[in-house]
Amino acid sequence: MNWKVIVGISLLVVVSVSAGLYYGVPAAANSTGQNAFTLTLVLASLESPNSTLSGQYVFFQQENGVLESSAVINAPLGRLVRIVIINHDPGTDSLLTPSANSVTGTLNDQMQLFVGTSVPSADITSGTGSSVCSQLGGSDISHTFTTSTGLNIPIAPNSTEVTYTYFNTPGTISWGCMCECGQFSMSTPGWMMGEIVVAPSY
């Protein structure tokens, strides 16, 4: 690909959230010594030779500090997965479905929300500096990370979000964004949609 990834300078945006009462990794996961598998997704803008697509925000997988295509995401079967979403997009988009503002399919149907995109990794693990929420305001959403199995994570502008979930059915499922963020983006694997391959070997 010739596209260069441009990570914009983030401005702090105060995001209104509704706070939940409890958020945590299940004790069973810790007491068995099970370490969470971390899936880091980064929403960053593209510089494209096609000017009409330039500046579009796209999901990437971040592995070992490198941004890679999100067209095919690997997830471990039956293992606790920590999903970290780092969103550099300062803008909002309309939801395709009003209920996509709710967090579903995560532990307690909640997520941890940090303001900004430069959260230290220690805070991502501990949650220090985050608020806990089960939904976002419908007009405070840039994109969503939504799967065909009922996982739905609404993503606030200029934010970092942490959720925990399990993928308990082996095979290939689809993921996509439930915002009207661009016809090309929404129909192009590795932009706002793709596959998740759930297998025991990761």
Residue 114 carries which DSSP code?
E
Which segment (75-83, 126-134, 139-147, 166-174) binds Cu ion by CB under 5 A? 139-147
Q: Which residues touch 62 (CB under 8 Å, ≥6 apart)? A: 40, 41, 42, 68, 86
State the nearest-atom distance from the C-beta of 28 to Cu ion, in Å. 34
Footprint of Cu ion on 165-184 (CB under 5 A)? 177, 179, 181
User: Which SS3 state, helix, strand or coil, does residue 72 take?
Assistant: strand
Would you say 103 and 109 are in contact if contact means Cβ atoms under 8 Å apart?
yes
43 counts as binding Cu ion under rule CB under 5 A = no
The Cβ-side half-sphere exposure at 170, using a 13 Å CA radius, reads: 5
Task: In angstroms, give the least distance from the CB of 136 to Cu ion.
Answer: 14
Query: Least distance from C-beta 68 to Cu ion, angstroms?
Result: 18
Distance between CA atoms of residues 152 and 118, nearest Å: 23
Pick the stretch among 75-83, 103-111, 120-128, 135-143 that binds Cu ion (CB under 5 A): 135-143
**Any contact of residue 143 with Cu ion (CB under 5 A)?**
yes
Binding site for Cu ion (CB under 5 A): 143, 177, 179, 181, 192
